[in-house]
Amino acid sequence: MVTVSGGIAIPLLLSILVLHVAFPASSASDGLVRIGLRKKPLDENSRLATRFSEKEIKDLMSRRFGLRGDVESNGDEDIISLKNYMNAQYFGEIGIGTPPQKFTVIFDTGSSNLWVPSSKCYFSLACYFHPKYKSELSNTYQRNGKPADIQYGTGAISGFFSEDHVTIGDLIVKDQEFIEATREPGLTFLVAKFDGILGLGFKEISVGEAVPVWYNMVEQKLIREPVFSFWFNRNADDGEGGEIVFGGIDPNHYKGEHVYVPVTQKGYWQFNMGDLLIDGKSTGYCAGGCAAIADSGTSLIAGPTTAVAEINQQIGASGIASQECKAVVAQYGKQIIRLLMLQAKPIKVCSQVGLCAFNGAHGVSTGIENVVADENTEASAHLHSEAMCNSCEMAVVWMQNQLLRNQTEERVLNYVDELCERLPSPMGESSVDCAALDSMPIISFTIGAKKFNLKPEQYILKVGEGGQAQCISGFTALDVPPPRGPLWILGDVFMGVYHTVFDYGNLKVGFAPAA
């Protein structure tokens, strides 16, 4: 992951919408269970409340996706960690217990547990600003007591498991295992519009091996089909926020036909994605395919820094200048171009110029100390070396793509140097000129051999009104190394444009233009 010099704060709440329940969920005559949503404009205070330090973001994303760094991984279990849920703005109301105690929760396809604040949460300020589950008021409560600890960027959500009935619309899911949260650290939960999380991912990423609510809905035969779908209304002037439909698909929510792709790895709703295009031209980064997940719990679209930097350059987004990246261009650029023109394998180029060691799949840091500003410690040398290796690998992708377009050496070097000026800060926002939307390109994702286009007005988020309005890119950087990555997270920016179907019975994900 590219680091941010100076440890600047990074905002994670980057959406124009903060949504809460609009009306109770309903079960219609067609057998579908609908959860209605409503929205309100995002205010600046909510954005500021979600600012974290660079180290906190690195720890969070390392635990969640197994990134390179200091966080140890014991295998696949590192993917269970929660993201910053202030990135998720779609809420619905559920009930827990008999009679039901109401909670507003995020329906999140990127996690698999249900948790709400507990009446036994005594020492976290956030718990005093949200309703708390009181087991003594429910005559269907069953004690469990198994401890639960879900990692979070600023600490952990801690608590214990309990069992009770969960009401979703007219459905009652019996004996559902859930977490009573007794510790919710950080300002994020204090200002959150939600009370808890209802995970819709697979059991493989469930903390404590708890059976997810969705599994029990299917097992208890409460719905017509093992399918659920999301419709997110991104019209800022419309009071209706959208719907989550359990048991099938509402034909009023989409146009045309869905394009389905198989789930390639259970845990998240993960599938294979093809090339990324900018105004119809390949970026070259995913020409050989990339992994992607459809994640209702993330506002933006997160992708590899290499690709997001190219998008930033094309839309005029602000970024951070990387001195390591610029040093690679200045000192090794011509050598890299010559190797590419001699048909050298791109994955081996950085090892051939001495900036990386090839491990058989990709380049890794060699620990070299050339072009290192601070050579006082072995640690600082290693960090600079890793940055040089990462920068070289990005430069190779950019240069190769430009050479395929028959650009001259001078133009290639100038283009890559400009990209070095626009590297996005990790999991941070990039501002753009609100007046320049008409000149911005169409960004396209290839899924199931079909191009899914995003127009500027769809991937640029506007915060505020009039002369005080700010425009923010809907793309953010996230580097997940092989074998799990490269990985794209298609969040609400994408799912708001394309109605998304999660077919549990056939293990596939479908996309169609939203109506």
Would you tell me how many other CB atoms lie within 10 Å of the CB of residue 122?
A: 10
321's tokens = 């200048």
Instruction: Indicate which residues carry an active-site annotation.
Output: 108, 295
CA distance 245 to 227: 9
42's tokens = 């995002």
Burial degree of 375 (CB within 10 A; 0-12, 13-18, 19+): exposed
CA distance 511 to 259: 5
Handedness of CA 207, 210, 211, 214 (dihedral sign): negative
Burial degree of 419 (CB within 10 A; 0-12, 13-18, 19+): buried
Q: What does the chain come to in residues?
A: 515
Rounded alpha-carbon distances, angstroms, from residue 350 to 49, 50, 140: 40, 37, 62
DSSP character for 31?
Answer: S
CA distance 304 to 241: 30
Rounded alpha-carbon distances, angstroms, from residue 311 to 100, 234, 426, 441: 47, 22, 15, 9
Region class of 386: left (phi > 0), else alpha (psi between -120 and 50), else beta: alpha
